Structure 1
Amino acid sequence: MPKNTKAPVAPPAAEATTVKAGKKASAKKQSTATAANIKSKKVFVLDTSVILYDHSAIQNFKEHDVAIPITVLEELDNFKKGNDIKNFEAREFIRFIDKLSAEHMLQDWLPLNGKNKGKFKVLMNNASTQDATTIFGDKNDHHILNSALQLQADEPQHKVVLVTKDINLRLKARALNLTSEDYETGKIRDVNELYTGNDILEDVPAVIINELYEKGSCAIDKVLPTPPTDNHYFVLKSFKNSVLAYYNQAEKQLERVDKQLAYGVKPRNAEQTFALHAILDPRIKLISIQGVAGTGKTLLALAGALEQRREYKQIYLARPVVPLSNKDIGYLPGDIKSKLNPYMEPLWDNLKYIQNQFSETSKEFQKLRDMIELEKLMITPLAYIRGRSLSNIIFIVDEAQNLTPHEVKTIISRAGENTKIIFTGDIYQIDTPYLDSQSNGLSYLIDRAKDHPLYAHITLLKGERSELANLANELL
């Protein structure tokens, strides 16, 4: 042995036992943690409705794995042609999957792009032991159920969750002991706390109200300890008087709001006054108006747009086409104008109401007729909005609660220079099967856009159509 070199000394028996026990405990702890991670990791099975709602949905499940049944790919093939947003969503998803699987087979788990993402695969086997087609009937939804049930049997170590916008399919899944959920991305938490855009302030000192009447404005810190949302509207009340105002964030002050007449239409309550003020304010480029039937949403939007006709080259009116009996408008006879007319009648009704404020010999009556003939005022289908750049126009989108968040984003992204967009609708009156008050595009817009200087929102509460219409809203 070389000089000054000591032979290794074995640790005492007790110490060696402690080291060995420590290694075992560490290995056991690591094994337990790994098992817990495996158990906590989920596999989400997506239905066709989720893909048509959001083509990027498979990227939104964090570290969890995502699968789609082969039946979903078959259904997407039927949606890939057309100009609607759902057709775009189908095409984009198909392109994404094609790119993802360029060098792999879809039956294998493929890593999703991005940090801390899970894996993806297509489920080929839809022959589950617990056969949903035998229980519910032979249709695509039940083949999708079978795929999820078979995956649950194949991978008992993971929790399998069916994700679908179809409420009935979720119920059927739960009836078969399969966990099912709605697709939550883009869904607001509590519709009861949705931003209203306007408030009533009671017991405001009379001196503040007098200042607003005399000067037209006052510093916000005289009224509220903290500044409110930009373009937020208020009814300020004292013991005897009241005044309407809104918050101008740029000037850090409340400014008085006066009733204005717009192409023969006069607001009948405070909320209508606020809505018309926002529409006529050139500083505000994006507006949403929410309210039940008969509150005057579409009429105010149209009257305000006509009042500003000299500032814009065109006024576009549009509303989502929600086909009856799930049939596309292509089934209807005639050209595109004839097909759309039944869906656009409510817009024509509002135009006629405004036109009838004037005599047939008046220049206002004739001007409105000329605008329609010269296509200065146009009713257009939303299906053809993609790819366009809309400059120098006012774009009114009625029944916006029937749009998805992605559709709302698509419309707003079309805005060019000097364009104002107005969305109107009732978030509780939805005609499309895969949307609700929390997931529709109008609710999403209100929740996301509040406090932006270009945006204003108003909730209309009082029906002004007729006493009979109010009866229906209140009692039926």
Structure 2
Amino acid sequence: MTKIFVLDTNVLLHDPNALFAFEQHEVVIPATVLEEIDSKKRLADEIGRNARTVSRLLDGLRTSGSLHKGVPLPNGGSLIVELNHRSFVKVQELFGEMTNDNRILAVALNYSIEQQQLEQPKSVVLVSKDVLVRVKGDVLGLQTEDYLSDRSVSSNDDLYTGHRVLHVHPSVIDQFYSYRFLSVNSLNVVLKLHPHEFVILKDEMGTSKSAILKVNVDCTRLEPLYLSNDQVWGITVRNAQQRMAIELLLNDDIPLVTLAGKAGTGKTLLTLAAGLLKVEDERKYKKLLIGRPVVPMGKDIGFLPGEKEEKLRPWMQPIYDNLEFLFDTKKAGDIDKILVGLSNIQVEALTYIRGRSIPGQFIIIDEAQNLSKHEVKTIVSRVGEGSKIVLVGDPAQIDHPYLDSASNGLTYLIERFKSEGLSGHVTLEKGERSQLAQIAADLL
């Protein structure tokens, strides 16, 4: 049965194509939403870009008819812009003040009341990414939903990890050590494997016999890890997932690597160590480019004085902390002197990456979970010939107001590229920063 979906502003600012995501159903946009979108269209960030995209899409739909009377959508549904705000009386009795959120709630509530008076009523659903708007809608007796159409996975637990454990007969492990490879068919299990996925074989009899293997590009064989060195730029690998990460980071045939994991699992440190090895020691790449999105955790500190480098320093400090550890600096300011001498290491904010072409570089994008799908596409599409890009982040720690663990750019990239032979992914699980950091990541 056809439903009526009333969209909150944050849905369209998060995904302008949400206009077309409701198939054959009716989509209602309250006039308040247009006002809020209009107030955002001059912003120079992702929200401003989405606001302008929504404006253009609505302008294009005007050619099909009057928006306040309703126009057909390409997917078979229809769109109407609600102009009279409907009566605010019902909502005012509970929430009083006429805020924009309450005006949107009033539109949904009055649509619901109207439908209940019909012989064949339609379900009215308020769609919002604002939890409190959904809570208010529930108080009013409305059916409310989060916008889920753009989610790459249904939950963080469904995210591709890049590794799995298989319990096999000990003869299978012996066969691997004898021939240095295993055919996927020899495992006698039905598996959906991905290129460069790691498989940990364990003895089903309960002994300590085990092996770590990697799926080849064609997903036909399980092969040994090629890199035997457990030390990279002075950093010693401490667990199996870190070993897998180093395998991907140092493989020049894999130009796209994604690393996910909780705080303290060593994602950024391992990536920087691998990048320094490739750039400084092996000279495989001509420059190490390190960037991260400028998204604050908590209240923003406002405008900062000084030149660009001085303004960026607070945002980039986590990168400098890791570099100080890798270079074993003793005094404050030593890392700045080192980076001046090493002109092939560049720390940059992602604000300045649009329009660039970046060939022959080892590129590290830290805190990639705070990127939207569009921003990830913009960044990865900048990668030029002979470059390698590594995106690092924790999908559970989102500071962006319109993203969550299932809809952020890092999760999107992991899921879309997991079947591609030119990419590899590992989710790191064990914290190695300190015992306190591990307990905090698990309990807090």
Aligned to 1:85: 46
Equivalent of 2:221 in 253, 273, 279: 253
Partner of 2:264: 294
* CA distance in structure 2 between the aligned counterparts of 1:388 and 1:248, rounded to whole angstroms: 33
CA–CA distance in structure 2, aligned partners of residues 133 and 306 of structure 1: 63
What amino acid is aligned across from residue 295 of structure 2 in structure 1?
Answer: V
Amino acid at match of 1:448: R
Counterpart residue number, 2:7: 46
Quick check: 2:155–2:405 contact (8 Å CA) kept in 1? no
* 1:322-354 deviation line (CA, Å, top 9, x unaligned): 236665x76344444333322221111111111
TM-score with structure 2 length normalisation? 0.86
- Name the CA distance, whole Å, in 1 between partners of 2:89 and 2:13: 29
Query: Secondary structure of 2:11's partner?
Result: helix
8 Å Cα contact 1:204-1:223 kept in structure 2: no
Q: Which residue of 2 aligns with 1:152?
A: 112
- One-letter code of the match for 1:89? N
CA distance in 1 between counterparts of 2:9 and 2:197 reads 39
Give the conservation status (yes or no) of the 8 Å contact 2:278–2:285.
yes
What displacement does 1:400 show?
2.2
Alignment match, 2:162 = 197
Pairing partner for 1:320 from 293, 298, 303: 293
49-58 or 308-317, which moves further after superposition?
308-317
Q: Do 2:64 and 2:71's aligned partners in 1 also have CA atoms closer than 8 Å?
A: no
Listed as ranges, the gaps of 5+ residues in structure 2 are none
| Alpha-carbon distance between aligned partners in 2 of 1:133 and 1:307, rounded to the nearest angstrom | 66
Q: Which residue of 1 aligns with 2:311?
A: 339
The letter for the 2-side match of 1:279 is: L
Task: Spell out the pairing of 1:254-403 with structure 2 (5 A cutoff).
Answer: 254-257=222-225, 258-260=227-229, 261-309=231-279, 310-323=283-296, 327=300, 331-356=303-328, 376-403=344-371
Judging changes above 3 Å, is the alpha-carbon distance between structure 1 residues 152 and 388 closer, same or farther for their aligned structure 2 residues?
farther
Q: Alignment partner of 1:308: what SS?
A: helix
Paired position in structure 1 for 2:90: 130
Please give the alpha-carbon distance, in whole angstroms, between the structure 1 residues aligned to 2:434 and 2:140: 49
Distance verdict in 2 for CA 1:105–1:331, change over 3 Å: farther
Counterparts in 2 of 1:417 and 1:111: CA distance versus 1, 3 Å:
same
The one-letter amino acid of 2:123's match is: K
Larger radius of gyration: 1
- Distance between the aligned counterparts of 2:64 and 2:175, measured in 1? 73
- Runs (5+) with no aligned partner, structure 1: 1-39
Quickly say closer, same or farther: Cα 1:115–1:359, change in 2 above 3 A: closer
User: In 1, distance between residues paired with 2:93 and 2:286?
Assistant: 56
CA RMSD in angstroms, aligned pairs only? 2.9
Contact kept? 1:49, 1:165, Cα under 8 Å: yes
The residue identity in structure 1 corresponding to 2:309 is: K
Secondary structure of 1:271's partner? helix
The share of aligned pairs that are identical, in percent, is: 39
Task: Name the aligned partner's letter for residue 85 of structure 1.
Answer: E
Query: Partners of 2:64 and 2:415 in 1: how far apart?
Result: 41
Q: What is the rounded CA distance, in whole Å, between the counterparts of 2:166 and 2:16 in structure 1?
A: 44
Give the equivalent residue in structure 2 for 1:162. Answer: 126
Spell out, residue by residue over 1:27-69, the C-alpha distance to the aligned partner (whole angstroms, 9 max, x if none). xxxxxxxxxxxxx211211112111211111011111121212
The amino acid of 1:184's aligned partner reads L
Alpha-carbon displacement from aligned partner over 1:132-161 (angstroms, at most 9, x marks no partner): 496153422222222322333455533221
Does residue 143 of the first structure (1) align with residue 107 of the second (2)? no
For 1:43 and 1:279, the matched residues in 2 are separated by: 48
Shift of 1:216: 4.2
Of 111, 116, 120 in structure 1, the residue corresponding to residue 80 of structure 2 is: 120
Q: Equivalents in 2 of 1:232, 1:464: separation in Å?
A: 23
